[in-house]
Chain A
Amino acid sequence: MSLKFSDATIKEYNEITVRYPDRRATLLPALWLAQRDFGFISRDAMLAVAELVNIKPVQVEEVAEFYTMYHKKRPGKFHLQICRTLSCWLNGAEEITQLVEQKLGLKEGETTPDEMFSLQMVECLGSCHTAPVMRVNDEYHENLTPSSIGKLIDQIKSGDVKETV
């Protein structure tokens, strides 16, 4: 199934192109637009981006694969990203991860069958002083404790937390 960018997105993209003397520099911004519009960077999304930026599909693929924030498969509606690096680890990130896994019945890299939650372990999120930290979509949740993480997930489940992407 081929994907097409909407006219509005193409307009948005064209406004970005004037910032750079070389069109290829718009590749990362174009991939962000694709992820926003199509949900993740599928093969078809890569082809659409290649056409938009006017470069070869392989040039899009190598870049999409290199950067961890471009999802190569569809994440859950709420994509949980737990920081696993040192300061978070020293402050109990492992325990937080286990609790999330138990509560949702999923492992790292998995998505729940209802496509509500997906879990990814990520490297340092740059919030070491409020460890342990987790991002839910684009939102930081800091100073997590076993009780706060449980509460947060319950809130998301009951619809009290809005989808932020």
Chain B
Amino acid sequence: MTDYLASEKQLTSRFELPLSHTLKVYLETGGYFSLQKLFSMKPEEVIEMVKKTNLKGRGGASFVTGLKWSFVPKNVDKPVYLCINADEGEPGTFVDRFVMEKDPHLVIEGIICTAYAIGCHTTYIYIRGEYIKQMKILEVAIAEAREAGYLGKNISGSGFNHEIYVHRGAGAYICGEETGLIESLEGKKGQPRIKPPFPAIEGLFGCPTIVNNVKTVAHIPWIIGNGSEAFAKIGTADSTGTNIFGLSGHINQPGYWELPFGLPMLEFIEKYGKGVKGGKLKAVIPGGSSTPVQTVQDCEDLFLTYESMRDHQTFLGTGGVIVMNEHTDMVKALKNLTHFYADESCGQCTPCREGTSWLDRLLTRILNGEAYAKDLDMILGITDNMEGRTICALSAACAMPVRSFITKFRSDFEKYLRPSVFAKQTLDGGGSLRE
């Protein structure tokens, strides 16, 4: 077996060092080194370089980062903003907080690189309200960086100015959606906007805005330092570079590991997670709760790459893998998720507001033993009406796990069902069969 951990780490190389969050340790270990090269390049060259790496956004939507940057119009008379999405809230996802906590200067350096490329002078880090510790660490790091001349006016003598502000969220999953995040930053309810216009054209305060995940920008200094080819060589053709994958649920050793893309899912669970806890493997949610669930059979040829996930009609998402053992009641597990989405729907689109609640109530009906087989089909019908009919993807993010749980583990659901209405009415000996 290849030792994937032995390959060079881009995001977690300082995680084990004492005081890794301080400027002193950061500078001793090559920190802010990329800036010299960065400022010798033209912004469009940086965009081109990042485009060539095929780096995809690590927040879950997996859009090509360099391409997103290139949408920012040139020579606009408005300021350009960068928002760092640190509103980590997708169930099963928990690694952004460690990047901010253990290597905040890497995030800052990544922000400087990104901001320079898109011509931006103000960045807001939108951090979820619960991450108080990470927020404090970031604020100290920002102050240190400003003191040392890495932020503020004329950074490292380049003539480039930049400021970073941390903006605290207040408990809303939907603010992880980029336009929901922008609305929230503007002091409103985090209700996503209709696109177009996309944020790159008209985002925060009506100005061109790029929203990038924490890990996405944290990759950039490595790319500037080592070049796009070095990055693209890691992983597979479609899934380049490394990612920090998380493991949680029924697992002997839950945690997170930075790995190149391409590891087989079962090997990841066995080798890094030390196997399934409490019984045999039953199901895997590969990249945060919104991604369609996979059976053991599915996992046999499932790899930690975008393309393998696509072949399995699922997604790599945030890279947060949730493992469930053979004793898991899939109906209760799904009910746990529908509750989440019904709770977190922002309420502005009918298919999502109503759909997520209907699904949650139908799951309750099943668990109470009050549902018939036709209710399962009704659930599937509802999910069909929830996708592609709303402003943002939350509705689909609920519909996808629901559909996959029911189609792949239907027998788990059938155990809860009542005998069909048809049979009952025949036994009762009457009644019109309207069903």
Contacts and interface: CB of A to CB of B under 8 A. Distances in A.
Interface of A: 19-22, 24-29, 31-32, 53, 55, 59, 62-63, 66-70, 84-87, 89-91, 122-131, 135, 138, 140
18 contacts: A22-B186, A22-B187, A32-B168, A63-B189, A66-B172, A67-B169, A69-B170, A69-B171, A84-B336, A86-B92, A123-B91, A123-B340, A126-B88, A126-B97, A128-B93, A129-B248, A129-B255, A140-B133
A89 B289 CA distance: 13
B215 to A, nearest CB: 14
B244 to A, nearest CB: 12
A63 B188 contact: yes
B173 A123 contact: yes
Interface stretch (B12-20, B52-60, B124-132): B124-132
Contact of A28 (B97, B167, B346): B167
Interface residues of B, number: 55
Contact of B91 (A26, A53, A128): A128
B184 interface: yes
Given A87-B92, A126-B131, A67 B172 contact: yes
B170 A70 contact: yes
Interface stretch (B232-240, B297-305, B320-328, B362-370): B320-328
Contacts of B246: 128-129
Contacts of A128: 91-94, 246, 248-249, 254, 320, 322
Nearest to A129: B254
A27 B249 contact: no
B256 interface: yes
A102 to B, nearest CB: 21
B189 A62 contact: yes
A24 B171 CA distance: 19
Contacts, number: 142
Given A87-B322, A90-B249, A135 B130 contact: yes
A53 B328 CA distance: 49
A24 B206 CA distance: 14
B131 A28 contact: no
Given A122-B171, A128-B249, 7 more contacts: A62-B189, A84-B339, A85-B289, A86-B285, A123-B173, A125-B130, A126-B94
A130 B171 contact: no
Nearest to B401: A86
A127 B88 CA distance: 10
A68 B171 contact: yes
A85 B163 CA distance: 36
Interface in B151-179: 163, 165, 167-173
B170 A85 contact: no
Given A25-B187, A26-B187, A127 B165 contact: no
B399 interface: no
A71 to B, nearest CB: 10
A85 B336 CA distance: 6
A89 B328 CA distance: 11
Contact of A31 (B170, B256, B336): B170
Determine which residue in B91, B129, B205 has the highest number of CB atoms from chain A within 10 A of its CB, and name it. Answer: B91
Contact of B187 (A27, A89, A91, A125): A27
A128 B91 CA distance: 8
A85 B205 contact: no
B250 interface: yes
Nearest to B277: A91
A85 B250 CA distance: 14
A131 B248 contact: yes
A123 B187 contact: no
B185 interface: yes
B201 interface: no
B322 to A, nearest CB: 6
B79 to A, nearest CB: 8
B66 interface: no
Contacts of B189: 62-63, 66
B94 A127 contact: yes
Given A62-B189, A123-B340, A128-B246, A67 B171 contact: yes
A82 to B, nearest CB: 13
B292 to A, nearest CB: 14
B90 to A, nearest CB: 7
A31 to B, nearest CB: 7
B130 A126 contact: yes
Interface in B168-227: 168-173, 184-190, 205
B172 A86 contact: no
B338 to A, nearest CB: 11
Contacts of B320: 128
B145 interface: no
B333 A123 contact: no
B414 interface: no
Given A63-B189, A126-B97, A129-B256, A86 B170 contact: no
A85 B91 contact: yes
Contacts of B129: 67, 69
A86 B337 contact: yes
